[in-house]
Amino acid sequence: MSNPIDPIEQLELKNIPSQVITKLLMVSRRLSESSELSVVLSTVIDALRDLLNAERATVFEYDAEANELFTQVAHGISKTGSGVIRIPANRGIAGAAAQSKELIHIPDAYADERFNQNIDKTTGFRTRNILALPLIDHEGGLVGVAQVLNSCHGPFTDQDQEIALGLSAQAAVAIRRGRLMEDRMARERMERDLQAARSIQQSSFPSALPPMQYWQVAATGIPAEQCGGDAFDVIPLVNNVIVEPDEFPDEIVLLVADATGHGIGSALSAMQVRGMLRIGLRLKQGVRRIAEEANRQLCQDLPAGRFVTAWYARISLHNGQVENYAAGQGPIMHYRRREDDFIILPTDDAPLGVMIDEPNPHSTVITMQPGDLLIALTDGYYESEGTDGTQYQEQPVMDLVRKHRDESPNFILKAIYQSLMDWTAAAPAADDRTAIILKRLVK
């Protein structure tokens, strides 16, 4: 089987002047050397204009998903203009070329009903004749449509059309390659941004948990994507002042925040809640007051339908008193070792960012006795679906806490996670999984 004939070689066979062939070869070489889409598009429109001795040229790319033709590179369009021009892929002369995948020559634009005269009226440009040619890649797919306007020697000749067809085959391949390279670079940039965002988010979480006499705490956050929509914190205090994590505190403040959705947007909202908590504590505010002000701020900042559920707890390590404040976050479980039962702590207010309302004037206050546990898991645990489609829910957590009540919080948390993996057959998480388990030890 013979090799396919290159479009430029085909032109030679049709007695195209040698100087035109030389220019085409130069353009072809430049297209093959560049993978930058903007350079490719500019090269194509300049080549079409100059080789066909025309006034202007435009290249429309094809957006298959939207079924539209769009351009931001064309002669007569300001580089500082309003942006991308989009037209339906089945409208006008460009749309006709896209639908038929055949060259269309319009000797008199105003005599063709498909021509949109409003564009000339808006721009002040007078279109006399048009050559529209589809850009088809080597697989037969539509890449776009090129339009050349106003041949300087009357209607476009047969030779003009042959030159345009030869160039269009080269241009289609170059544009497809440039678009693929641009998409790849955009994905790589996004990947780098996500990695940076994940690194920033993860480094803001506690790298070490504070040492405590007669208390133990376990905390973890596992994002469903590179950036999670959950946040958690364990903040040590001495005399109402935040201290370094290696100091023995007299109080700790716990936070679990779960923003709607997951990904970068949700991560920003959850981290905003964490940041406001630390600022509030530095200003020596109580957790309920901090939550109220966080709610006011998020009501201003978040778009409709977005909110953050949050659980705040401030624990006195001397007497076991817990100030508990839940803004839509639950269930928060208090396992009482002596009674061997579970108390589900109430939700004190609506999620943060929903509405500014008269807040609940009282926080829920409990006392943890030796052997008691406090368990806060996000719905990434409870709503995980098993192989039969049912959700994990609270009962397995209660059973495991009761079974391992004399073990460390870290042991219990690992047992819960392993149970969840067994339940879901280790399927990828659909939502972020964040957990804090606090235990008061028996002296």
The full DSSP string for 12-33 is HHTT--HHHHHHHHHHHHHHHH
pLDDT band at 418 (very low <50, low <70, confident <90, very high): very high
Strands 142-151 and 215-222, sheet pairing: unpaired
Whole-angstrom distance, CA of residue 419 vs CA of residue 426? 10
Report the pLDDT value the prediction gives residue 124, as an integer from 0 to 100.
83
What is the Cα 183 distance to its own chain's centre?
Answer: 15
Amino acid identity, position 264:
I
* pLDDT at residue 73, as a whole number: 65
> What's the pLDDT score for residue 378?
93
Q: Is the pLDDT of residue 39 over 50?
A: yes
Q: Which domains does the chain have, with CATH numbers?
A: 7-185 (3.30.450.40), 205-440 (3.60.40.10)
Is residue 214 over pLDDT 90? yes
What mean pLDDT comes out for the span 9-28?
Answer: 62
More confident residue, 428 or 203: 428
Model confidence at 270: pLDDT above 60? yes
DSSP H helical segments within 205-313, as ranges? Answer: 264-282, 287-301
Question: Under DSSP, is residue 395 helix (H, G, I), strand (E, B) or coil?
Answer: helix
Closest CA to 367 of 426, 417, 324: 324
pTM > 0.85: yes or no: no
Average pLDDT over residues 57-63: 89
Phi and psi for 435 in degrees, rounded to 5? -150, 145
The predicted-structure confidence for 64-114, as pLDDT tens digits, reads as follows: 889 999 887 666 665 544 557 888 888 889 999 999 999 999 999 999 988
98 within 8 A of 69, measured Cβ to Cβ: yes
Of the two residues 196 and 275, the one the predictor is more confident about is 275
Terminal C-alpha separation, the chain: 88
pLDDT at 324: 93
Q: How far apart are CA 176 and CA 410, in angstroms?
A: 53
**Which pairing describes strands 130-136 and 230-238: parallel, antiparallel, or unpaired?**
unpaired
pLDDT above 90 for 412:
yes
CA dist 177 and 187 (Å) reads: 15
Provide the pLDDT for residue 77.
Answer: 61
Dist CA 434 CA 424 (whole Å): 17
Mean per-residue pLDDT, 368-377: 97
Residue with tokens 């206050």: 365
Are 440 and 212 within 8 A, CB to CB? no
Report angle CA 272, 274, 276 to the nearest 5 degrees. Answer: 70
Angle, CA 180 vertex, CA 178 and CA 184 arms, to 5°: 115
436 DSSP β-pair partners: 219, 376
Q: Is 197 a residue whose pLDDT tops 90?
A: no
